[in-house]
Amino acid sequence: MPVLSDFTAPRLLGGPEPLSDFAGKVTVVVNVASHCGNTPQYEGLEALYKTYGPRGLVVLGFPCNQFGEQEPGTAEEIASFCTLNYAVDFPMFGKIEVNGPNADPLYKWLKAATPGSDNADIEWNFAKFLVGRDGKPVARFGDKVQPAEMSKAIEAQL
């Protein structure tokens, strides 16, 4: 069975990055959007990254325009928005699809491999997956779950 480090994804403002660069870290993988009611969750995700990063947490953001076309911008526009409005410092990747026939392989794997996920489609922007240090998904959190509410689950993996 694959693990997170088996995947590669294009950085938002760069080339492909092997996710093996994050091997051994606890990881939150989240589909994000700049024009969504959940967009303020960027602040909470950045807070998790700052708080738990020194202990081995990384947050990986994946812009997605599949839900109400709420991420229409270019890579440069997305990067600027995240930096100026939320001081996002965690790694951001290129825009992807998370559902349907063109879903990114990373998201196909996350939906299939996460306990309790049952291969269900992503409901909306800011659905979050928690991946353990071993690269295996351990939990899925819906779009309405605030990042701070994930703290106990994150701490259990750290």
pLDDT at 1 over 90: no
The β-bridge partners of 30 are: 61, 128
Q: Burial, 125: exposed, middle or buried (Cβ in 10 Å; 0-12, 13-18, 19+)?
A: buried
CA dihedral 22, 26, 32, 36 (to 10 degrees): -160
Rg of the chain (C-alpha set): 14
pLDDT of residue 147: 98
- Look up the pTM and report it: 0.97
- pLDDT digits 0-9 by tens, 25-81: 999 999 999 999 999 999 999 999 999 999 999 999 999 999 999 999 999 999 999
Which tens digits make up the pLDDT trace of 83-94? Answer: 999 999 999 999
Catalytic center residues: 36
Single out the residue of 6, 2, 4, 15 nearest to residue 94, CA to CA: 15
All domains of the chain in start order, with CATH: 30-157 (3.40.30.10)
Res. 157 pLDDT band, cuts 50 70 90: very high
